[in-house]
Amino acid sequence: KDSDLGRFLNRHVDFPKSSGNNRVYCNRIMQRRGLTRPVCKTFNTFIHAPTGQIQAICRGAGRCHGRNFCDSNASFRLTTCQVRPGSRPGRCIYRARVQTRRIRVACTQRLPVHFERIL
């Protein structure tokens, strides 16, 4: 389904990485992507890579196992946004953590539809 892929891309892909230093990056992008209402999403990871590279995890550029989980062979640049205490909708404040790691996604019809975790 397109909607699942679209939701995945909106929630987890930011390429090229939006401008702004890490202090404001998460606050801005979480709001812009609609992840701060009705509640501040606690935790969210953005992948800074072209959509095609991320989709490839489901199409041979990853090791798949279980029902539909695939682990990327390549490492990706990631920013994880974690909400800070005292945040409330309309004023969600996040802490950013930047790393380069392999990831696990859930695939449906060879498309990524869910970000499972950082490996």
| Identified catalytic residue from 12, 13, 106, 115 | 12
The yes-or-no answer on residue 48 being catalytic is no
The yes-or-no answer on residue 12 being catalytic is yes
* Helical spans, DSSP H, in 1-119: 2-12, 22-32, 51-55
Cβ–Cβ < 8 Å for 82, 95: yes
Distances in Å between the Cα of 61 and the Cα atoms of 50, 53, 83, 88 are 14, 8, 32, 39
Cβ–Cβ < 8 Å for 104, 77: no
| Identified catalytic residue from 17, 97, 110, 114 | 114
What residues are labeled active site? 12, 114
